[in-house]
Amino acid sequence: MGEIDSKINLIVKEIKPTILSDITNLTATRDQPVEFNIKATGNPQPTIRWFKNETEEILPTNKDFQILHDKLTDTFTLKINKCKPEHQGDYSAIITNSGGTIKSKKGKLTVTKSPEFLEKPTSININENQLAEFHTKIDAYPAPKITWLFEGKPITSKDVFDIQTDQTNGTSVLTIKQATPKHEGKITVKAENPAGSIEETVQCSVKSN
């Protein structure tokens, strides 16, 4: 009987891992932390291996990540300390103990940053025929669409303005090579991406000679 009881106890003790709360898709702000959480039980207490895109195993030695386990709540956590665009992808985990192995769902990480002004255009007051320039610099991810408007209407290639935009560094310059009184009015710059939009309006004042 003692041997049978021991086998029964062994069977009871070895419980294959069960996921109580699985990984979910996340959207994170660039340069901010984010956490993937999985709640799982089993006997003996299971261990976890985290993966990105199924093949890239995330090790505790990776400085970008923290692998945590709260034994009181049976919660396993993968923390990304500072989200970057290169951290985007599908994350999953394999949870194992001597009773067996279970695989989590995939959780997709999307990294964004709503547009933010690093440099705003400023109002100008110039004489007729002078050069006028309006500068802006935007921080955003993905790269924003930058639009300039004159008196509320988008400026096009047909207008007497020149626009030079570099999306790689988020800069844009609106130039009036020879300002005239007809250029006097409100200048607006607008930046938008899927995470949000911002705008700033300034005044262009031109004095007649």
Q: pLDDT value at position 209? A: 73
Domain boundaries, the chain: 2-112, 120-207
Residue type, 59: L
Instruction: Provide the CATH topology of domain 120-207.
Output: Immunoglobulin-like (2.60.40)
Q: Check residue 9 and give its pLDDT.
A: 52
DSSP assignment string, 46-68? PEEEEEETTTEEEPTT-TTEEEE
Alpha helices, DSSP H, located in the chain: 2-13
Q: Do domains 2-112 and 120-207 have the same CATH topology?
A: yes
Check residue 50 and give its pLDDT.
97
Helix (H, G, I), strand (E, B) or coil at 163: strand
CB 101 within 8 A of CB 184: no
Pairing of the two strands 124-127 and 171-176? unpaired
pLDDT of residue 61: 85
Backbone angles phi, psi at 14, to 5 degrees: -85, 100
pLDDT by 10s per residue, the chain, length 209: 555 555 545 556 789 999 999 999 999 999 999 999 999 999 999 999 999 999 999 998 888 999 999 999 999 999 999 999 999 999 999 999 999 999 999 999 999 999 999 999 999 999 999 999 999 999 999 999 999 999 999 997 666 789 999 988 999 999 999 999 999 999 999 999 999 999 999 999 999 87
Question: What superfamily does domain 2-112 belong to in CATH?
Answer: Immunoglobulins (2.60.40.10)
C-alpha 179, offset from chain centre: 40
Give dist(CA 38, CA 138) in Å, integer: 36
Q: Which residues of 111-133 are buried (b: 16+ CB within 10 A; e: fewer)?
A: bbbbbebeeebeebebeeeeebe
What confidence score (pLDDT) does residue 68 get?
A: 96
